[in-house]
Amino acid sequence: MTTSNDALVRFIDVQKTFDGETLVVRNLNLDVADGEFLTLLGPSGSGKTTTLLMLAGFETVTHGDILLAGKSLKSTPPHRRNIGMVFQNYALFPHMTVEENLAFPLESRQAGKAEIARKVGRALEMVQLTGFEKRRPGQLSGGQQQRVAVARALVYEPRLVLMDEPLGALDRQLRENMQYELKHIHESVGVTIVYVTHDQGEALTMSNRIAVFNDGAIQQLASPSALYEEPENAFVAQFIGENNRLTGVVKSVNGSECMVAIDGGGEVAAAAINIGGTGSRTTLSLRPESVRIDPPADGYPDRFEARIEEILYMGDHVRVRVDVCGHDDFIVKVPRSREAPALAVGQTRTIGWHPGDCRALDVA
């Protein structure tokens, strides 16, 4: 699987420090495949933006190397890397018209007048801004500026485009529309995109793969569904989607299964994902939608009595906060349907889940 021949970008043992004492990026190894939409996802300060800036050439690599199409970028300044980039605040040149903004990279590459006109026209068509050529960025709405920024990053047909939280400044509705548009542009142009965001929804919607960053290192690199359904450590489980955590001690391990004694009392079977040997501490991760109230007898060996503390009506589902095993912040999502059990605060009900949905992870 570690075939690197068709990797467009390779990070090899990359380290980065600003002050010489703390590593902002530690020993990063990452391959970005040609044509891929790869998202670097993580909280602020996790090193994802620094990684992007090193790739763009705005930050030096302290140690290690970055290869683009097999060539080291070490001595290539940003303007010779032939990479496209969309900035968080778009960084459109305020003194140039839309047309001039788009022509700028082409002129930098000594393109002919006719070619420039053709490519600018095509790029504007792609982001549906034909007719806005003579406007200045200050006369455009946020969404339109965003499109111009995307068009400008693509107009000179780079193989790789970097995007640094490009949708961060847009309101929610616009952001969701733009997510689809970016995805369509990616699919139709076939360009490789490295995308930085702290918004997991955005990452899950658009990416082929997501690299979850925390504390300067990749915690997990996987497809959106794998990331959500099969988190490999407590950080990822907690960071992506909603998650219930129960702590306990491993009693026995049996292949891919294990038995865990929960701190608040009781013993459950769980999928052994990321645990030490018998006797080590572990965090159990459970998605709220995997938990059933009044589960059928079959296939739900993990069962507990839970007291209902709070019920929140969410439209398509009901969120039930229950007190179980000494945790009073355990959430259960109950889809709204005719068959949904009648619930009331103060009731004590049985909850249960499938052992495969309960993942025993490291202690974060």
Partner 1 sequence: MATASPPNGGADANGATTPSAATTPSAADANGVFTVDGVPLKIKLRRAERWARLRAIGLIVPLFLFLMVSFVLPIFTMLWRSVENPEIGLVLPRTAARMQAWDGRGFPPNETLAVVVEEFVAAAGDRTIGKAAKRLNYHVAGYRSLTMKTARRLERAAKQQGMEALLAGPDLIERFKGIDARWGERRFWTILKQASPPHTAFYLLQSVDRDFDEDENVVKVGEHRAIHVDILGRTVFISVNVTILCLLLGYPIAYLLATLPTRQSNVLILLLLLPFWTSLLVRTTAWLVLLQNEGLVNDLAITVGFWDDPVQLVRNRLGVYVAMVHILLPFMVLPMFSVMKGIDPYHLRAAASLGANPLRAFLRVYLPQTIPGVGAGVLLVFILSLGYYITPALVGGPRDQMLSYFIAFHANTTVNWGMAAALSLVLMCCVAVFFAMYQRLVGVGNVKLG
Partner 2 sequence: MAAPPYATPLQKSWYYALRVICGLIFFFLIAPIVVIIPLSFNSVPFFTYPMEGFSMRWYEEIFGDSPQSLLWQRSIVNSVVIAICSTALATVLGTMAALGLTRAEFPGKSLVMAVLISPIIVPIVVIAIGVFYFYAKIGLASTLTGIILAHTALGVPFVVITVAATLQGFDHNLVRAGAILGAGPLRVFRKVTLPIITPGVVSGALFAFAASWDEIVVVLFLASTEQHTVPRRMWSGIRELLSPTIIAAATLLVIVSIALMFTMEALRRRGERLRGISPG
* Binder of residue 109, out of partner 2, partner 1, none (CB less than 5 to 8 A by kind): partner 2
- Among residues 204, 99, 196, 209, which one has the least CA distance to residue 155? 99
* Residue 288 DSSP symbol: G
- Among residues 185, 192, 156, which one has the least CA distance to residue 79? 156
Q: Which amino acid is at 151?
A: A
Name which of 5 and 110 has its Cβ closer to partner 2: 110
Name which of 221 and 358 has its Cβ closer to partner 1: 221
- Does 104 contact partner 2 by CB under 8 A? yes
Q: Give the nearest distance from C-beta 137 to partner 2 in angstroms.
A: 7
Alpha-carbon distance 183 to 193, whole Å? 10
Q: CA dihedral defined by 213, 218, 223, 228, rounded to 10 degrees?
A: -60
- Does 18 contact partner 2 by CB under 8 A? no
Strand order of the β-sheet with 7-17 is 23-33, 7-17, 63-68, 71-72
Buried/exposed 31-41: b ≥16 CB within 10 Å, e otherwise: bbbebbbbbbb
| Residue 193, Cβ density class (10 Å: 0-12 exposed, 13-18 middle, ≥19 buried) | buried
Name which of 57 and 216 has its Cβ closer to partner 2: 57
Q: Give the nearest distance from C-beta 24 to partner 1 in angstroms.
A: 9
Q: Give the nearest distance from C-beta 67 to partner 1 in angstroms.
A: 12
**Which stretch in 34-42, 131-139, 255-263, 293-301 sits in contact with partner 2 by CB under 8 A?**
131-139
- Does 105 contact partner 2 by CB under 8 A? yes
Residues binding partner 1 (CB under 8 A): 1-4, 6-7, 15, 17-23, 26-38, 60, 62-63, 208-209, 211, 214-227, 230, 232-233, 274, 362
* Binding residue for partner 2, selected from 94, 112, 315, 346, defined by CB under 8 A: 94
Q: Give the nearest distance from C-beta 44 to partner 2 in angstroms.
A: 17
- Does 82 contact partner 2 by CB under 8 A? yes
Number of residues assigned to the chain:
364
Binding positions for partner 2, rule: CB under 8 A: 56-58, 77-85, 87-89, 91-95, 104-105, 108-109, 136-139, 152, 156, 162
